Structure 1
Amino acid sequence: MNMLLLTTKLSDNTYKVSGRQLEHLLDVHKAKIGDSFKVGHINGLMGTGTIVQLDNEQATLTLDLSQDPPPPLPLTLILALPRPKMLRRTLQTIAAMGVKNLYLINSSRVEKSFWQSPFLSPDAIEEQLILGLEQARDTALPTVHLRKLFKPFVEDELRDLIKGTAPLVAHPNTEENCPVNTPEKVTLAIGPEGGFIPYEIDKLIDIGFKAVHLGPRILRVENAVPSIISRLFPG
């Protein structure tokens, strides 16, 4: 945690910290009254918080928030729903890297049980996104959309989503290299473990996606996501 992300309404430039964040202050930072830390208010400004009261139950911080969060990536990520444990890590990764618009979609190789996971609840998703934002020192919470039907999403929604962007789909069986340091807005589709099936690749290409690859190595989803994003937007 490189920043405390404050998630409830602020009152008179003070904030009370408890739970996981308080444990981190006490156990990792050995916090004491008078210490200052990087803080940010969710979907708002960043700055510093100084401890003015502290016990084992909570810490009270006075806040000085005047800094804007880092700019978001010009990227919409379309991701076939990963297995639950991988989903948690991936949510943290995309939040830390600056992705602000994520669609979790179905695919032939996505197991039906994945959609029943408690990690897909709004609170569970937000928890992982917050961890990613705290790691990266960002406050802008990504928006996550769930789409359980592949064909209707592609035909009825995705066609409009990709307008004004460069639509790319990660696919190892293609000759086109993934672009590097692109100046364009991008819509990026990444399949499940095992990849999109040919029908799904064809549907994406039919509406304008270009299939690209990263090289001869086949990566896990949790590795492919940061690898491709870093290639597209290295700065």
Structure 2
Amino acid sequence: IAIAVASLAAPLLSPYDPIAMDPAQQFLPPSREHPAGTDLFGRDVATRVLYGGRYSLGIGLLAVIMAVIPGTALGLLAGYYGKRVDTFISWLVNVMLAFPSILLALALIAVLGTGAANVVLAVGIAGIPQYARLVRGQVLADRRQPYVRAAWTVGCTHTRILLRHILPNILGPLVVLATLDVGWAMLNASALSFLGLGVQPPTPEWGAMLNEGRGYLRDAPWVTAAPGLMIALTVLCVNLL
């Protein structure tokens, strides 16, 4: 929460522009004026890290939402209706799970192109299968419960049974998985940006900052140290929620 608040309050915490260049200030070591030093273009690293949190956290949250909604819908349909619907959706999920999530995201980025919006789509789509599988298992266990049979007996529609009776009872494990997956989504998004396939410079995103500074690890290690530390710290904090 503190990291998110600091990112949102970046204009109040730092007087520097995260994008404006000042070649005369390039590669300055950490000091009172620049607590995390400056980069190749003389930009304040601490400021870019603060603003970068908006992109990294935002992409992580949006990618998880992008995965949860269709994944939950597919899982509900597969678990409730069964038969051919379940067979087709399960086959589709298994095909997607056959590929590592980062590899699937890379393939999607190759089709969609670079940019923050496409990173959200790619990482989100790569995360759909695990939600579909989780929800399907929960629905299979719940659809035979007395309260579901009672709802069906009194004439409730399938949609009402799914949304008003089954879905609220499976929100617990769904929320837990979604919370843990914010860190996973951030790592995948940062990896894509580090490879030059995600958010593009000069946007201050943590993975893109690592990519910009990797050529100067020996001469200016602080350029990559700050965003790298923030990625690790944020993922750790999310996993400890």
State the TM bucket, normalised to the shorter chain. under 0.3
Structure with the higher helix share, 1 or 2: 2
Higher relative contact order (CA 8 A, sep 6+): 2
Q: What's the TM-score, normalizing by structure 1?
A: 0.24
**Structure with the greater alpha carbon radius of gyration:** 2
Q: What's the TM-score, normalizing by structure 2?
A: 0.24
